[in-house]
Amino acid sequence: MKQTIGQRIRLALEINHMRQSDLSKKTGISPSAVNQYISGNFEPKQNNIYLLAKALNVNEAWLMGYDVTIERSDHSAPLITEQEVALLKLFRKLSEAGREEALKRVEELTALSQYLPE
């Protein structure tokens, strides 16, 4: 199921370790409007989509729910896929010991040819 713009704003806030109030300050959009977007009560207008995407450092099309990479195209940072974002979110939930174990497991998988791209 396609994610809503509110769900994507929430995800981008989490990735950027931001709060709704931070987003409001960065964009000049009122806190109540930001809250309404996230809750799905209102859709932001195009100019606010631009401001939100810029403040969250995400692709405007991704923010609107399109199946494109999350990264903005106006900078040279490496692209990160939604799958990589999901992996990072899970990784950040782990303790330090869990993170070390996860890295070991991924290293083990990269040693197996069946898990490598052809």
The answer to whether position 111 is within a domain reads yes
Write down the pLDDT at residue 13: 96
The total number of structural domains in the chain stands at: 2
Write down the pLDDT at residue 76: 46
Which run of H or E residues covers position 5?
Answer: helix 5-15
The answer to whether position 71 is within a domain reads no
Which residues have a Cβ under 8 Å from the Cβ of 29 and sit 6 or more positions away? 23, 44, 48, 51, 52
Write down the pLDDT at residue 49: 93
Write down the pLDDT at residue 80: 65
Write down the pLDDT at residue 109: 94
User: Is 59 found in the same domain as 28?
Assistant: yes
Profile the chain (118 residues) by mean pLDDT over runs of 10 residues.
88 94 95 96 92 93 87 60 81 93 95 89
- Domain of 13? 5-63
| Domain harbouring 52, CATH code | 1.10.260.40
User: Is 57 found in the same domain as 101?
Assistant: no
Report how far residue 81's alpha carbon sits from residue 71's, in angstroms, rounded to the nearest whole number: 8
